[in-house]
Chains A and B, each alone.
Chain A
Amino acid sequence: MLFHGAGVVARILAACGLVTAAACTPDFQSPRQVTDLRVLAIRQEALDEPGDTSRFADASVDFEALTAQPVRVRALVVDPNARDPVVHGSLCAPTDSGRCDGVPTFDLPTASGEPKITLDVPSDFVALAKQDDRLKGFGGIRVQLSLEASDGDPHDPVMASKILLYTTAPESMRNQNPDVVGLEITRDGAHVATVAPGETVAVAPGVEYGVRPLLGPGASGIEEYDAVDLTGQTIHLRETPRYSFFSTVPIDFDRDGADEPLPGQPQPANGIARFTAGAGSGSIWVVARDGRGGIGWISVRCTAASP
């Protein structure tokens, strides 16, 4: 008798099937090409008191007092057409659709070109979230933030969601958002420039450049941490960040995403992704996800002019 359901073997076969069928797949637009209004990322920052500082991505919750740590939510909403989007938000228990239907909405004001809001979850919402949770608050609660962005695009509104985590875990187990502090640009493996957030990099048109995102130090990079699984066992894990690449015309990346090489693995010779720019200027965004809800990003401009 075969081990029916042995998923790995099935996935291997499926992968091969997909590879062989790839030639028949319709030619869709790639997600890395930003041509209209998009929400590229949403980040949760648990706010320490007093003040406006944040150490963790996930917030703490106290079920006895029915209180939750306030969080700040920032969204990376972009539109190459340079229209100002209007962003609404709503909160609810997690849904399969990712939408919060039939609940009040609130505005996310745009500051410094970035929709941002501080959310203070009321106690009755904490109680309700715990009640709706299948595990009745075991380990914390999950609150769904849904966003609707509009700027007159024919496909308005653009919808996005993020699970806001409110945890009962001790600080040693809590997560910190990754920070992308810069992009190293290379050409044929040789260093060309390091670009900080908001800066502009100049490149030669039609030439392929490598990109290597640079993570912040310590917990702003790759974290190692302990966690408790559903059987109650404490397990030690290590984050495996993954990057997503986006650009506007005339810049074109060669891939949608790439993994941060793990310790001991060889570093790719010419960055972990490559891009080519046509004459003109455009935007580049690189989003980093740590695999446990932490998100960071970098936005830079790129110009390509013939010498």
Chain B
Amino acid sequence: MHGPVATLLLLALAQSGENVREAPPQPPPHAPELTRAPSLVEFHPADYPPDRLARGEQADVACLVDIDAEGRVVDVVVERSAAPDFDAAAVAAIRSFRFSPAEIDGKPAAVRIRYVYHFVVRKEAAPAPEQAADEATLRGSVLEAGTRRPVAGADVFAGGAQAAADAQGRFELRVPPGEVELRAGAPGFGESRRRMRLEARGSADVTLYLRRTEVGDYSAVVEGSRPEDAPTRRTLRHEELVNVPGSLNDPIRVVQNLPGINRAPYLGGLLLVRGTPPADTGIYLDGQRIPILYHFLGGPSVINEQLLDRIDFYPGGYGAYYGRNLTGAIDVGTRKGDPQGFHGSVSVDLLQSVGFVEAPLGERTQVAIAARRSYIDFFLPLFLPNDPKNGVTSITPVYWDYQARLDHKLLNGDELTLFAFGTDDSLALIQRGGSRNQPLEVSSHTGAHQLRFGWRHAVSDAVTLSVAPLLGLTVQSFDATGAGTGSFGLNQAGRIFDWTLALRTDARWQARPWLSLRAGVDLSWDRYVVNADIQSTLQIRQLGPPITQEQQISHTQPLGNLGEFAEAELKLGRWELHPGVRLDQFHWREHTYGTFDPRLWARYALTEATGLKGYAGLYHQAPSPFQLDPALGNPALLPQRAFQVGLGVDHRFGAGWSLSVEGFYDRRGSLASRVPAEKLPDGTVSNPLYLNQGLGRSYGVEVLLRRDLSARLYGWVAYTLSRSDLLPRNDVDWRAFNFDQPHNLIVVAGYRPSPAWELSARYRFVSGNPTAPVTSAVFDADSGRFNPDSGNLGDARLPAFSQLDARAQYTWTSNLWQVSAYLDVQNVLNHTNEELHVWDYRYRQQGSISGLPVLPTLGVKVRW
């Protein structure tokens, strides 16, 4: 006898199953979830190759099976071959299968699964009739060692009986009483055996743990029916995020390796999207804004990687859902806690410790909690000057963050989410002695806390509604205690409390199979309470050099933003069209401005594998609260605007490779920029501090060649050719943006030779940042310093940046937990990269400050 044993492992759903890709869709506030896995309802056995059967040869053929929304098999590809005759027999059999439709978010959807067809020669021994009456019952679970997650489809044998574990890893066997050997196995796992004695008509419950012997699937991820919202969207999923070298074990930093992001110096977390300032890119967590994404001084991201589901990065060209950003958007999606058991992790390295736990609370509720605390403040003083004679410097940076997510599904299918998020950075600097004749103490603190609620309701099969209110508090403060002149020469202090109320609603209607509509509101209201006693620099006419003056600020500044958006998704033959419109109303003090942003993106499928894509749209953004402050800025500023247009092509090669090439042009106008005072014709002086006089332009080509995430290999090549220029005011010349980098090449590759090892590497080659060459210098007798006579920024550049990073991780697995140790080495070749030119006091000698030398980081992570 022979027979198939099905191993059904969900791999990646949807039409393509890629994990970093250009076009496929995504609804920011809600990650699609596989709510029902497909199950085999119509099985047709494969024809066992006769010769093989005669010789007793067995084999496993792993296939990727595309199943449509009605459960039909539409494609079968051999992923792991056994032999041509075995492969052909397995493919022919699987093509005739029929499955129950899978569901994503409660609706039938196309999915891709992995199906392993086992060719097994069996010798069945039918139990004697008298034995059947005495049979014992053997129940249990088959779990993966280390993760304790079920191994669905695992084969279980005992006493001549056989069963396959279900989706929860459960099995049940009826076996003859007496001494039996229980065996369990699955493709990619080693066999687990246990001997036990069973009484007649007795029962036993047992758990078997299987250890991986082959590199397994990364996980079951769903990327199916997410509405398209930008042709430029690049999604990174958790599995390919966690082990990219140079990211200091921080997945969210990996986004900086995609095309469209300029390199930030050192370990800085500046998000320099398409050559624009970080403030022009919106940062979102599950579709709603967060104040910061990274802790300071190159620290990690403020979201725990275990809670991370995906990162969507839009360098531009996104739809109407996102607004009030001039350039890009980054949306970090979190995931629900594990519904199947208590899991967690602890990670310890030289900089910080991170903890994470997740568990179900009943059948309908899951919880996930994460927290982090740095301890750089303990180590950094060891490396800083501490010479009582020449001066003492003390820096104590501290950061911590927390996230807690609670998900509950009501009986009517509605989904509720409660999410708490907080981050806190504080930094203190103390200098005594040395070149200072008065001590100096400065400190800063930034904290943000948010409480979010989410409700998702399916009105009908075609209409869904989600509502997500948010309450937030952001605190910024600084204190400086010093004496004398200079930036912190005199005492100053400030506190800014920003209370935020925000609301996101989103309604979707699948009106026709080819038409879906989406509309919603995006509201936020901020109330800034500013109290500051600062030394501001003033230019007073008769007094020559600018002087510092004490300035006391105490006021409340409201900022209100109301946004409404509507967009459609049309699929008309080879065309995919996404028209959308967004209205924003900006309110600050007595000023109200309305903006109208039409946006359109489209894709035309030239072939099944190749498509053309393009977009055009308007974008508006309010000036920063600082620029609008009545004491420090100009409340009469107008919203800033940008026009973005792009055109590109994407192509999917075989074997998991894909290519995207995209040209873009961004034109920004009405940028708030600092202006000098002017005398008006009536004899008065106008000193608005800021006016909407700035212009900016960015243009270039972004290329992404990508190898999809597979069992062993992933990676990509990202190349950006671009320029970014600024015109700060209308009476100066265009100049390069500070981080204008014409060439930016990044190669990332990861390889898992075995379940225990993971090796990865990253190489970056980036044009040097623009500089202004110094030709001479003139001593300024009023300040006592030399002023360089320099050209425009961009007339020269720093040498190109080149760096290779590498990472190796080894994982030890026991039944209940896993321990991973990793070594992440930045700048393996110890290449000297100049980050900054410095000069002697009179600009005769030039030197440079280099970037990181070779920098190894060790870390340990425990998971259970």
The residues of A with any CB-CB pair to B shorter than 8 Å are: 1-6, 8-9, 11-13, 15-17, 19-26, 28-31, 38-39, 41-43, 58, 96-99, 134-140, 142, 146, 155, 158-163, 165, 167-169, 173-175, 227-232, 235, 237, 240, 242, 244, 254-262, 265, 268, 272-273, 287, 289, 291-293, 295
Whether B291 is near chain A, meaning CB under 8 Å from some CB there, is yes
Interchain CB contact under 8 A, A240 and B781? no
Whether B489 is near chain A, meaning CB under 8 Å from some CB there, is yes
Q: Tell me the minimal C-beta distance from B399 to chain A in angstroms.
A: 12
| 27 A-B interface contacts by CB (under 8 A) | A1-B526, A4-B626, A5-B279, A6-B496, A11-B488, A12-B478, A24-B849, A24-B850, A25-B838, A28-B841, A28-B847, A97-B778, A138-B541, A138-B679, A160-B781, A161-B787, A163-B545, A173-B542, A229-B549, A240-B548, A242-B485, A259-B437, A259-B485, A268-B437, A291-B547, A292-B547, A293-B543
Interchain CB contact under 8 A, B782 and A230? no
CA distance A246 to B777 in the complex (A): 19
Whether B80 is near chain A, meaning CB under 8 Å from some CB there, is no
CA distance A197 to B493 in the complex (A): 41
Whether B35 is near chain A, meaning CB under 8 Å from some CB there, is no
CB-CB nearest in chain A for B677: A230
Q: Would A3 and B496 be within 8 Å (CB), given that A15-B429, A25-B847, A42-B781 are in contact?
A: yes
- Please indicate the chain B residues that have their CB under 8 angstroms from the CB of A146 in the complex: 778
CB-CB nearest in chain B for A259: B484
Contact with A along B274-317 (1 / 0, CB 8 A): 00000100000000010110001100000000000000000000
CB-CB nearest in chain B for A14: B487
CA distance A43 to B782 in the complex (A): 9
Interchain CB contact under 8 A, A98 and B787? yes
Whether B627 is near chain A, meaning CB under 8 Å from some CB there, is yes
Q: Would A99 and B543 be within 8 Å (CB), given that A146-B778, A237-B549, A295-B781 are in contact?
A: no
Q: Residue A161 contacts which of B480, B488, B779 (CB distance < 8 angstroms)?
A: B779
Contact with A along B821-851 (1 / 0, CB 8 A): 0000000000000000011111011011110
Q: Would A140 and B776 be within 8 Å (CB), given that A4-B624, A244-B784 are in contact?
A: no
Q: Would A261 and B438 be within 8 Å (CB), given that A98-B787, A240-B484 are in contact?
A: yes
Could you list 6 further interchain pairs (A-B, Cβ under 8 angstroms) beyond the known A11-B488, A227-B542?
A2-B446, A98-B789, A158-B779, A163-B544, A230-B538, A235-B549
- Please indicate the chain A residues that have their CB under 8 angstroms from the CB of B484 in the complex: 240, 242, 258-262
Whether B474 is near chain A, meaning CB under 8 Å from some CB there, is yes
CA distance A158 to B534 in the complex (A): 38
- Please indicate the chain B residues that have their CB under 8 angstroms from the CB of A254 in the complex: 435
Q: Would A39 and B543 be within 8 Å (CB), given that A12-B443, A138-B685 are in contact?
A: no
Q: Tell me the minimal C-beta distance from B528 to chain A in angstroms.
A: 7
CB-CB nearest in chain B for A145: B781
CA distance A4 to B622 in the complex (A): 12
CB-CB nearest in chain B for A26: B847
CA distance A232 to B538 in the complex (A): 13
Interchain CB contact under 8 A, B541 and A256? no
CA distance A8 to B442 in the complex (A): 10
Q: Residue A12 contacts which of B429, B528, B626, B848 (CB distance < 8 angstroms)?
A: B429
Whether B610 is near chain A, meaning CB under 8 Å from some CB there, is no
- Please indicate the chain A residues that have their CB under 8 angstroms from the CB of B838 in the complex: 25-26
Whether B754 is near chain A, meaning CB under 8 Å from some CB there, is no
Most chain B Cβ neighbours within 10 Å, of A11, A43, A256: A11
Q: Residue A259 contacts which of B483, B494, B776 (CB distance < 8 angstroms)?
A: B483
Q: Residue B476 contacts which of A2, A17, A30 (CB distance < 8 angstroms)?
A: A2
Interchain CB contact under 8 A, B542 and A139? yes
Interchain CB contact under 8 A, B543 and A175? yes
CA distance A136 to B624 in the complex (A): 31
CB-CB nearest in chain A for B395: A16
CA distance A39 to B487 in the complex (A): 26
CA distance A162 to B483 in the complex (A): 27
CA distance A139 to B543 in the complex (A): 9
Interchain CB contact under 8 A, B444 and A159? no
- Please indicate the chain A residues that have their CB under 8 angstroms from the CB of B346 in the complex: none
Whether B85 is near chain A, meaning CB under 8 Å from some CB there, is no
- Please indicate the chain B residues that have their CB under 8 angstroms from the CB of A15 in the complex: 429, 442, 487-488
Whether B567 is near chain A, meaning CB under 8 Å from some CB there, is no
Q: Residue A28 contacts which of B279, B496, B787, B845 (CB distance < 8 angstroms)?
A: B845
Q: Tell me the minimal C-beta distance from A130 to chain B in angstroms.
A: 10
The residues of B with any CB-CB pair to A shorter than 8 Å are: 279, 289, 291-292, 296-297, 380, 384-385, 393, 395, 397, 427, 429, 431, 434-435, 437-438, 442-444, 446, 474, 476, 478, 480, 483-490, 492, 494, 496, 498, 500, 526, 528, 534, 538-545, 547-549, 559, 624-627, 676-679, 684-685, 687, 776-784, 787, 789, 838-842, 844-845, 847-850
Q: Residue B685 contacts which of A22, A39, A135 (CB distance < 8 angstroms)?
A: A135
- Please indicate the chain A residues that have their CB under 8 angstroms from the CB of B676 in the complex: 134
- Please indicate the chain B residues that have their CB under 8 angstroms from the CB of A25 in the complex: 838, 847, 849
Q: Tell me the minimal C-beta distance from A203 to chain B in angstroms.
A: 19
Q: Would A292 and B541 be within 8 Å (CB), given that A12-B429, A259-B483 are in contact?
A: no
CA distance A19 to B385 in the complex (A): 9
CB-CB nearest in chain A for B445: A9
Q: Would A13 and B427 be within 8 Å (CB), given that A4-B279, A242-B484, A259-B485 are in contact?
A: yes
Q: Would A230 and B500 be within 8 Å (CB), given that A4-B624, A9-B444, A161-B779 are in contact?
A: no
CA distance A89 to B845 in the complex (A): 26
Q: Residue B534 contacts which of A8, A22, A42, A169 (CB distance < 8 angstroms)?
A: A8
- Please indicate the chain A residues that have their CB under 8 angstroms from the CB of B385 in the complex: 22-23
Q: Tell me the minimal C-beta distance from B682 to chain A in angstroms.
A: 11
CA distance A160 to B685 in the complex (A): 31
CA distance A125 to B840 in the complex (A): 36
CA distance A301 to B403 in the complex (A): 67
CB-CB nearest in chain A for B840: A28
CA distance A17 to B776 in the complex (A): 28
- Please indicate the chain B residues that have their CB under 8 angstroms from the CB of A6 in the complex: 476, 494, 496, 626
Q: Would A231 and B687 be within 8 Å (CB), given that A1-B526, A12-B443 are in contact?
A: yes
- Please indicate the chain A residues that have their CB under 8 angstroms from the CB of B480 in the complex: 8, 12
Q: Tell me the minimal C-beta distance from A31 to chain B in angstroms.
A: 4
Interchain CB contact under 8 A, B540 and A228? yes
CB-CB nearest in chain B for A141: B541
Q: Tell me the minimal C-beta distance from A176 to chain B in angstroms.
A: 13
- Please indicate the chain A residues that have their CB under 8 angstroms from the CB of B841 in the complex: 28-31
Q: Residue A8 contacts which of B486, B492, B549, B625 (CB distance < 8 angstroms)?
A: B492
CA distance A4 to B276 in the complex (A): 14
- Please indicate the chain B residues that have their CB under 8 angstroms from the CB of A140 in the complex: 541-542
CB-CB nearest in chain B for A57: B544
CA distance A1 to B624 in the complex (A): 9
Q: Tell me the minimal C-beta distance from B735 to chain A in angstroms.
A: 14
Interchain CB contact under 8 A, A161 and B778? yes
Q: Tell me the minimal C-beta distance from B388 to chain A in angstroms.
A: 13
Q: Tell me the minimal C-beta distance from A165 to chain B in angstroms.
A: 5
- Please indicate the chain A residues that have their CB under 8 angstroms from the CB of B685 in the complex: 135, 138, 230-232
- Please indicate the chain A residues that have their CB under 8 angstroms from the CB of B384 in the complex: 19-20
CB-CB nearest in chain B for A230: B687
- Please indicate the chain A residues that have their CB under 8 angstroms from the CB of B395 in the complex: 16, 19-20
CA distance A235 to B543 in the complex (A): 13
CA distance A8 to B540 in the complex (A): 21
Q: Tell me the minimal C-beta distance from B303 to chain A in angstroms.
A: 17
- Please indicate the chain B residues that have their CB under 8 angstroms from the CB of A38 in the complex: 779
CA distance A258 to B380 in the complex (A): 28
CA distance A26 to B832 in the complex (A): 14
CA distance A39 to B442 in the complex (A): 35
- Please indicate the chain B residues that have their CB under 8 angstroms from the CB of A162 in the complex: 780-782
CB-CB nearest in chain A for B396: A16
